[in-house]
Amino acid sequence: MRIIIIGTVASSFYGFRADLIKSLLEQQHIVYAFTSEYTSEDLDKIENIGVTPVTYKLNRGGLNPLADIRATHALAKKIKQIAPDLVLSYFTKPVIFGTLAARVAKVPRIIGMLEGLGYTFTDQPEGLSKKTKLIKQIQVLLYRVALPKLDKIIFLNPDDPKDLLERYNIQVKQVEVLGGIGLNLEDYPHQPVIDTKTPLKFLFIGRLLKEKGIHDFVSAATIVNDKYPGTTFTVLGSIDASNPGALKQSELDDLISSQLVNYPGHVDDVKDWIANTDVFVLPSYREGVPRSTQEAMAIGRAVITTDVPGCRETVVDGVNGFLVEKWNPQALAEKMIYFIENPEQVAQMGYESYKIAQEKFDSRIVNDRLKKILGT
């Protein structure tokens, strides 16, 4: 089969899709990776996987309908030249416009995967802004147009189809819930926590967005630090300037200068940082199924996260960590303090995380299921 995979950021292909792509190549399929945000180095890395990179134009955060129509028409021409048997799109705009372009190009099989509903569907403590509500209305309208043209729509968690399809009465041919997209577990070997006598280390990984819970993490760290000074709090991640919920540079500067948290910025050796910590914390407002939590679980770390869509797919409360109420730094701090006062639970719950990751997040199992959904 000729298979086109349409994404946006090039690094997502070799960072998160490599195992799936290699599995498709082993079946002798020909794969094309369509990317709209890339460097020449990115394109080389995609080629090294064994697929053909194809660049196209799509403004990930733009709201210009004429530009989107032109981009969709140009994308349809590129798809038609390849004449694929299957188009798989992921991320919001590729699922919308990639689907429409594939339908114009008369592709026999079109599948979309929404790995989360994004910030427009993410509740905020102060409510959604007028601009966000407008963008959400536009998105829902576009979903109403595009999603019925799919042969299948894939979600990662069971809450997303309820909050999108059922709530807005969007008719689709077939819905699949995949779970997390999974990890190559060999890349994240189990490294049990050995010493929990020293002051505990808590780790946050994620883009520095309000809805990732970065403010709640810092507020909880302040509460914990007042009671147990010496506790270590580390934040890994960078500002995503194209996202409306991104931290301002001045806010990040204040965070660094406060010396409350350790901030190495964006790092490539994430697993080493996880291995050197005790408890992983992600107080996100909403997720698909967060990869960072899957990584922490595979290595064997207890998790504190929020009881929201996506995050609740990673934690069995009281078994491998804790689910806390969203927007509640006090509840977050109480669970951090629980681990400080019950250090034996760090290793115990960490081992339970490892076992859950083996069962749910092995990319070989996930990709076998995904290939069945794709019909390859």
d(CA 192, CA 351): 7
* CATH number where 35 lies: 3.40.50.2000
Is residue 362 scored above 90 in pLDDT? yes
d(CA 280, CA 123): 23
Comparing 44-48, 152-156, 191-195, 348-352, the range with the smallest average pLDDT is 191-195
- Do 129 and 151 reside in the same domain of the chain? yes
Query: Which two structure tokens, joined as six digits, stand for 33?
Result: 């990776």
Query: What percentage of residues in the chain have a pLDDT greater than 70?
Result: 98
- Do 174 and 229 reside in the same domain of the chain? no
- Do 104 and 251 reside in the same domain of the chain? no
- Do 122 and 223 reside in the same domain of the chain? no
- Do 140 and 224 reside in the same domain of the chain? no
**Domain span at residue 251?**
185-360
- Do 152 and 89 reside in the same domain of the chain? yes
* pLDDT class of 59 with cuts at 50, 70, 90: confident
- Do 69 and 165 reside in the same domain of the chain? yes
Average pLDDT (166-183) is 96
CA 118 to chain centre: 10
d(CA 160, CA 288): 8
Measuring CA to CA, how many Å separate 5 from each of 30, 86, 134, 149?
11, 9, 29, 17
In this structure, the number of other CB atoms found within 10 A of the CB of residue 70 comes to 12
The beta-strand segments (E) located in 214-340 are 232-236, 262-265, 279-282, 302-306, 321-324
Number of residues that make up the chain = 376
Q: What is the domain count for the chain?
A: 2
Average pLDDT (77-94) is 97
State the pTM of this model.
0.93
- Do 30 and 142 reside in the same domain of the chain? yes
Average pLDDT along the chain:
94
| Residues sharing a CB contact under 8 Å with residue 348, sequence separation 6 or more, in sequence order | none
- Do 317 and 253 reside in the same domain of the chain? yes
Is residue 288 scored above 90 in pLDDT? yes
Express each pLDDT in 265-286 by its tens digit: 888 889 999 999 999 999 999 9
Is residue 61 scored above 70 in pLDDT? no
Comparing 20-29, 176-185, 249-258, 313-322, the range with the smallest average pLDDT is 249-258
Host H or E run for residue 155: strand 152-155
- Do 225 and 317 reside in the same domain of the chain? yes
pLDDT at 87: 98
- Do 117 and 223 reside in the same domain of the chain? no
- Do 174 and 250 reside in the same domain of the chain? no
* pLDDT class of 9 with cuts at 50, 70, 90: very high
pLDDT at 62: 66
Express each pLDDT in 120-148 by its tens digit: 999 999 999 999 999 999 999 999 999 99
pLDDT at 112: 98
